[in-house]
Amino acid sequence: MMDQAQSLRQLVSSQDPKLAVKGESSARIITVCSGKGGVGKSNFTLNFALTLKAMGKRVLLFDADIGMANIDVLMGVSAKYNLYHLLKREADITQIIQLGPNALPFIAGGSGMDELFSLSESDLNYFTAKIALIADSMDYILFDTGAGLSKETMKFITSADDCLVVTTPEPTAITDAYALMKVVNRTHPEISFKLIVNQAGDEREALVTSDKIRMAASRFLQLDVSYLGHISSDAHVVQAVKRQTPFSLAFPNSVAAKDIHRLALSYLTIDGKKDTKVQGIKGFIHKWLKRSK
């Protein structure tokens, strides 16, 4: 059996050329965030990434939650290396990128995230060059950020191509999701958001929830927030978390799995209509540096 480094080299070299985007740095950078914890953001990000991959897209998942990194736990995968080992030159990029279920490439979070925000210019150039070796062969790079709006999360949101905001119908979650958009909009009005309602009782509740946020954003911020879709409250999701297996794989016929499939299709439909050029990982990091000054 080939080792992980060989698997990752093969992953990059054997991508379907029909899916490739010509030119360097073709990956669209997506930040996933939430106004508060407990809304299922990380679980959504993982299953969204897997669903995009199942649709033939090349996806890299990056656990960027500094305090509560748990993507590897949700997958039941033990990550031997994380970002810290790359930054300290203790492991190469093909070692820190792990393979999760269905060969989903991911970078585990942890202590390395702290160092990432205080790199010297030479270290940052090294990091960028290494990440680009893998990232430039991807269609999408998803960053699962921490809950709430820390200064680190703000940098991710304002540097990415897309920002997905996960909320639930719970009143505090609605309030905090709107508050996150308001704070970002105050200093970066050019940033747009796409809304996902998780743990919805039904479609009507999801629409009511999204309408509250979108109407408030439109009225008070003159901000047009897109509604991407919802994921129903489903006991299979809880069972999958306990099994440490993504619900889209453990229960592919569940309501939640069907919902996230529709949601991913909705995203790809919107993304396919865009005529703007994506910035790729190098553009993302360049913008990120500007936000740090």
What domains sit in the chain, N to C, each tagged with a CATH number? Answer: 25-291 (3.40.50.300)
Q: Please state the rounded mean pLDDT for residues 92-111.
A: 85
d(CA 254, CA 12): 32
Q: Give exposure, 172-186, as e/b (b: 16+ Cβ within 10 Å).
A: ebbbbbbebbbebbe
**Residues paired with residue 105 on neighbouring β-strands, in sequence order:** 99
Q: Express as a percent the part of the chain with pLDDT over 90.
A: 55
Phi and psi at 289, nearest 5°, equal -60, -40
Q: Please state the rounded mean pLDDT for residues 223-247.
A: 96
Q: Which helix (H) or strand (E) holds 160?
A: none
Give me the pLDDT at residue 21, please. Answer: 37
Cβ-in-10-Å burial (0-12, 13-18, 19+) of 208 comes to middle
Give me the pLDDT at residue 281, please. Answer: 79
Strand order in the sheet with 59-64: 97-99, 105-107, 59-64, 140-145, 28-34, 162-167, 194-200, 226-232
Give me the pLDDT at residue 127, please. Answer: 79
| 66-94: pLDDT as tens digits | 666 688 889 988 878 877 788 788 888 88
Number of CB atoms found within 10 A of residue 140's CB: 24
Higher-confidence residue: 150 or 112?
A: 150
| 238-293: pLDDT as tens digits | 999 999 999 999 999 999 999 999 999 999 998 766 656 677 777 887 777 666 55
Handedness of CA 235, 44, 6, 139 (dihedral sign): positive
Give me the pLDDT at residue 2, please. Answer: 47
pTM of the predicted structure, to 2 decimals: 0.89
